[in-house]
Amino acid sequence: MQSNHSIVIIGGGIQGLSIAFNLARLGVRDVRVLDAGYFQGGASGRNGTLIRGGFGSPEWTGFFAHSNRLWAELSATLGENVMFTPRGYLVIAQKAETLARLDGMRDLHREHGLQSDLLAVRRIKELEPAIDEHAVLGAIYLKGGGAAPHHAAMKGYLAASRRLGARIDYQRPVTAVERSGDRITTVIAGDERIACEKVVIAGGAYSPAIGKLVGAEIPGFPIRIEAMALEPVRPVIRSAIALPDRLCYMHQTARGEIVGGAEVPEKPQVTLNTDICALAATAAAYAEVFPALGALRILRHWAGMLHATADWGPLLGQHPDVGNLWVSAGWSYGFAGAPAAGDLLARAIVTGEVDSRMAPFAVDRFRRNQPVVEGAIVLAPVD
């Protein structure tokens, strides 16, 4: 089989779909998305679904504040209900040094147009009556943060992209890529040869391996993250919550389940097996801060794969060595970041102009020794 598409996107997770939608919206109507697995089989169907705009660095905050704003209008943009609920996002300090760090972030968040406040314990207790006020010291409250169930967001992007003419296939792995000099000419997926002008790698944890098919270095490695759901109960937690001192995050879904996880050190590897370490760390963090959760049963526990980079930041932009190759990979907060990544990368691909909010995450930043230092993410050091 032989076909032609102006742009081929490898990977149909939320990144690939957001890029496809935004390209189609800019008038590129023959976008092709190829995914090796089933719809929502990657990290985009396995995540905690928490969304926030404010972090500790200007680079992350500039990018994610834009994404949070796009989330707020995403249902209208797509014409599909993505069920985003801006219920508020609390980043809670349990140690004095963490509280001091959070204190410094409020002005940064406000500079980027976010409603961000530093809350004393009394105010946290008013917002979250079930919290143990003796276990916390203060918090940053991001009023516009929240959560959106991944099935709704993924289905929304899929349906809207298809309506605009994008062709999206699952169970269709890219198996080889042909080049002529520094340009990709053909993407091969099983028995299909697809001639194309541009290629985007959006393969999540598998992006470095896809880079090898292309003969292009994608820095970083695959790593496992685990999460769990507690049995559904009447509302206990109102906000989306991060506990940086416990490397833990959580929220309560519309169905009443408490969903989240605590990070534990992991080795670079590909596995969807789960183990007791992450489960125990999550249970301990939950019970410490919300004692009522200690009595609930664990309903499910699962793992997903991330593509970790040396600074945990995404790789977003044109590849430095292959002229017509673009990358959206290395995502640790790639669910929250998907609307902005799709918007800014599609514009860069179509116009050649790189927005200042994506420029710091350039694919070659490690070669230039310019990592982005971000101190307000909830991720464990690599084992």
Ligand X SMILES: Cc1cc2nc3c(=O)[nH]c(=O)nc-3n(C[C@H](O)[C@H](O)[C@H](O)COP(=O)(O)OP(=O)(O)OC[C@H]3O[C@@H](n4cnc5c(N)ncnc54)[C@H](O)[C@@H]3O)c2cc1C
Q: Which positions touch ligand X (CB under 6 A)?
A: 10-16, 34-37, 41-44, 46-50, 173-174, 202-206, 210, 225-227, 261, 304, 306, 331-336
- The smaller minimum CB distance to ligand X, of residues 6 and 175, is found at 175
Dihedral angle of Cα 115, 118, 120, 123, to the nearest 10 degrees: 0
Dihedral angle of Cα 75, 158, 361, 356, to the nearest 10 degrees: -50
Any idea what the Cα angle at residue 55 is, between residues 150 and 125, rounded to 5°? 80
- The smaller minimum CB distance to ligand X, of residues 90 and 225, is found at 225
**Residue 120 CB, nearest distance to ligand X (Å)?**
26
For residue 85, the 8-state DSSP code is B
Residue indicated by tokens 């977003």: 316
**Residue 122 CB, nearest distance to ligand X (Å)?**
28
**Residue 268 CB, nearest distance to ligand X (Å)?**
15
Helix and strand numbers (H, E) in the chain are 9, 18
Q: How far apart are CA 303 and CA 227, in angstroms?
A: 6
**Residue 133 CB, nearest distance to ligand X (Å)?**
25
- The smaller minimum CB distance to ligand X, of residues 49 and 324, is found at 49
Kindly write down the DSSP assignment for every residue of 318-349, as one continuous string: E-SSSTTEEEEE--SSTTTTHHHHHHHHHHHH
**β-pairing, 2-10 with 31-34?**
parallel
**β-pairing, 31-34 with 192-201?**
unpaired
**Is 270 within 8 Å of 305 (Cβ atoms)?**
yes
**Residue nearest to ligand X according to CB distances in the complex:** 13
- The smaller minimum CB distance to ligand X, of residues 208 and 360, is found at 208
**Residue 157 CB, nearest distance to ligand X (Å)?**
10
The DSSP element (H or E) to which 76 belongs, if any, is helix 74-78
**Residue 206 CB, nearest distance to ligand X (Å)?**
4
Any idea what the Cα angle at residue 333 is, between residues 330 and 335, rounded to 5°? 105
- The smaller minimum CB distance to ligand X, of residues 137 and 240, is found at 240
- The smaller minimum CB distance to ligand X, of residues 177 and 293, is found at 177
What is the phi/psi pair of residue 173, to 5°? -70, 140
**Residue 93 CB, nearest distance to ligand X (Å)?**
19
- The smaller minimum CB distance to ligand X, of residues 131 and 329, is found at 329
